[in-house]
Amino acid sequence: MNPFELTSQLMSIASVTGTEAAVGEFLSSHIAGLGYRVERQNVAADRFNVLGFAGDARVILCTHIDTVPPILPVREDNEYLYGRGACDTKGIIAAMLEAGNRLRRDGTTDFGYLFVVGEETDSAGAKAANTLKWQSEYVVVGEPTENRLARAQKGAVMANLTVSGRAAHSGYPEAGTSAIENLWKVLTECQSADWGNDSVLGKGTFNIGVFHGG
């Protein structure tokens, strides 16, 4: 099975986050058939990371096996494959496996694979993998980067802000306190704050995700 056929096969197996078992089973069997030592790391019920080793893994090739919804049919033309996961990241899985085959043909075996679940939501697979006691020196993470090598990315800090107010009759508004107005003042200050500037990654950013009030 060449990389294009493998990509198409992987894309045809639905693996929206939380339902990765089928593609995990396929990958486990496929990688074992290529001669790798395969392990599974359970993450949750019917969800597991797939690990494959050619030898002592000094370098790990890592990407994820889940996709965002909705499921899309696979189609192709003379040049491209189209569908869910074509580049994010089932095509990358196939490319990594092809790279591994070429490395082994050249006698290089000090690498392995880590294919994780849950990247599109809470990174449950990556968090589980972070508990593994490996001695690897390098990790190459596969993500769509327009074929440019990326050596860093921005991190993220998430916070929940809660502001309380005081209800009052509309005839006596001065007796009340608007929680929404006070929260908005805080968020406005956050928007204008200095979130740092990195020579590689650029300026830090601030995002208001979900707002509930009343």
Provide the annotated active-site residues: 119
Contact of 30 with 109, CB cutoff 8 Å: no
- CA end-to-end span of the chain, whole Å? 58
Distances (CA, A) of 96 to 4, 186, 192, 194, 214: 12, 46, 42, 39, 50
Q: Which residue has the tokens 């599974």?
A: 40
Q: Nearest to residue 157, comparing CAs of 184, 125, 195?
A: 195
175-214 burial: b if 16+ Cβ within 10 Å, else e: eeebbeeebeeeeeeeeeeeeeeeeeeeeeeeeeeeeeee
